[in-house]
Structure 1
């Protein structure tokens, strides 16, 4: 079966947002629903975020060159940052509009069609969210995972829109701004989580628990006396590991090289690490692990 690519998820997102933003803006203006119009503009800005993610994924596919010896995979993380910034601006804008609404404003009762539109949008975006979440896991794409989180925020926004419009129909005016405030806060929280994860990776942050697991597995290899240093970093969805191992000082170059090959094979076959650099040192009793 043909392997799915993360760009498919980005195209699905862009197509979905174009349809939803046009429908919500048109029906929002026709039904006098401020909540639905805001939801439509929210989807319109999501088109920009999804386009940024698609560009990042396409750049990440470019092969290595003289200026990028490790490839262009980190463009995917940069696109995640852009998506986070756009999401944060949306969330802040929602919160500002809520504060303005709480200060007072003209009350306009929207039509019920706004409820059905927002409800249908929530259901539709939930399926898009599930599709991209699964595709992100299959392709190990951080940018697509960030897009999936954004989709879930859009589902919550549409659900909040439904609640707000129903509240307006029942003359419960406080329900709309309170729901909008919660949605705005959740959008900002999601944007912050995406920003933190992408910036952590771009600054060469790595899961310390995984490094400890790698170290324990490597030290079980026959001929490895000790792991004195191990570091990891992410290049897009690929892991790169630098490890320094100690072997018996009387071993010849060929035998030491075979041990290093077994370390690389372990990391690749068990953990999918295709970029591993193994440095060999002679074992000494007073060697200390540099990661401690």
Structure 2
């Protein structure tokens, strides 16, 4: 069904790097979500009132909040497509994340309201009167929400849209919640167990957990989460195809919303390479990466001596000392300068972010180890942590 709707309503549907195509996908998911959730709200509200069920009524308002969430998501994507201006030179792409966070807060609010109402129903139970149409309505709701989960997830992953992923989590939580309500209604009518309030509490907890998890993911993106390992591997493999590049370091990916990524890194090239040819090759690399990844790419050209055997041996010596200090450490930007008395080994020391000690102390420990192994060497170390 998702493919059919995409084929009918979205032109050039596979070109997901196009903002126009992304907007078309958002329009499709928003309109679909709004219409289906309004229908579910109306049906559950009517049958919930007739059945005297707080769980069904709460589930109904959960659906209308989902419709509101779809509206907020749609508005957020519209705002994120605004052009750059003087106050926002990187565009408005992070409005996607802000609206995603608003959706998450709505989910948490609905969960809290349902929790308080359900606790009250535990202490003040009311007899339930469910008709066959109530069961049909709830059963249909489960299937609709399951389909919406698959619908949001597929399109959210396709266009890499965090608000749609949040909506998919919300939909599967709704599916589980409505299933529990349906089971409780069956138990109430067949065994006489009035567990409506208790089921409402369980449903509320489902919704709260989903909201908190989704909010955490959105906050991580707003604060600046690192790209996935798969994305980094794809970038690295693409860069390695260019023979001029013998290594890369200081890779950074700044995310200002989908379609608004900024990538920068240092490309290590042989120092004996003609500078004009090297510059031309790096320009080609930047253009090709822009086409492939839809990002603005900046590459710093870093010349390294790959032919001097003495430099190569001293680098290997420094790397051994670094690994003996901590296997997770690595180095780059290695240079060697010879003085009258000492040989200076100059390099950047990359320390993982989960390292317990201080970066400066780690650098001192490496320098001390180098000095102990070769008194004629003096290490000039700049500690840093990776950004990807």
Name the TM-score class by shorter chain.
Answer: 0.7 to 0.9
Contact 2:52 2:126 in 1 (8 A): no
How far, CA to CA, are the matches of 1:128 and 1:208 in structure 2? 26
Q: Does 1:244 align with 2:266?
A: yes
1:34-86 deviation digits (Å, cap 9, x = unpaired): 22111111112222222111110111122222222222111111111000001
1:217-261 deviation digits (Å, cap 9, x = unpaired): 535531223323011132222333121222233444432223323
What residue is the counterpart of 2:129 in the other structure? 110
**Correspondence for 2:249 among 216, 221, 228:** 228
1:176-212 deviation digits (Å, cap 9, x = unpaired): 3443333222212221221111111111211362475
What residue is the counterpart of 2:316 in the other structure? none
- Greater relative contact order, per chain length (Cα 8 Å cut-off, separation 6+): 1
TM superposition score normalised by structure 1: 0.88
Contact 1:61 1:72 in 2 (8 A): yes
Give 1:273 shift.
4.1
What residue is the counterpart of 1:152 in the other structure? 172
Structure 1 residues not aligned, in runs of 5+: none
What residue is the counterpart of 2:30 in the other structure? 10
Q: Does 1:260 align with 2:279?
A: no
Tell me the secondary structure at the aligned position of residue 100 of structure 1. helix
Give 1:267 shift.
3.7
Q: Does 1:44 align with 2:64?
A: yes
How far, CA to CA, are the matches of 1:67 and 1:33 in structure 2? 51
How far, CA to CA, are the matches of 2:232 and 2:79 in structure 1? 32
Q: Does 1:285 align with 2:334?
A: yes
What are the residue-to-residue correspondences of 1:181-192 with 2, within 5 Å?
Answer: 181-192=201-212
Contact 1:21 1:44 in 2 (8 A): yes
Q: Does 1:75 align with 2:95?
A: yes
Contact 2:127 2:194 in 1 (8 A): no
How far, CA to CA, are the matches of 1:97 and 1:34 in structure 2? 7
Q: Does 1:23 align with 2:26?
A: no
What residue is the counterpart of 2:159 in the other structure? 139
**Correspondence for 1:64 among 84, 107, 119:** 84
Structure 2 residues not aligned, in runs of 5+: 1-6, 14-23, 305-332, 336-346, 351-383
Q: Does 1:89 align with 2:101?
A: no
**Structure 1 or 2: more strand by fraction:** 2
How far, CA to CA, are the matches of 2:161 and 2:138 in structure 1? 29
Count of residues in correspondence between the two structures = 289
How far, CA to CA, are the matches of 1:98 and 1:28 in structure 2? 14
What residue is the counterpart of 2:330 in the other structure? none
Task: Answer with 1 or 2: which has the greater Rg.
Answer: 2
Contact 1:59 1:72 in 2 (8 A): yes
How far, CA to CA, are the matches of 1:211 and 1:157 in structure 2? 35
Contact 1:6 1:57 in 2 (8 A): yes
**Correspondence for 1:123 among 132, 136, 143:** 143
TM superposition score normalised by structure 2: 0.68
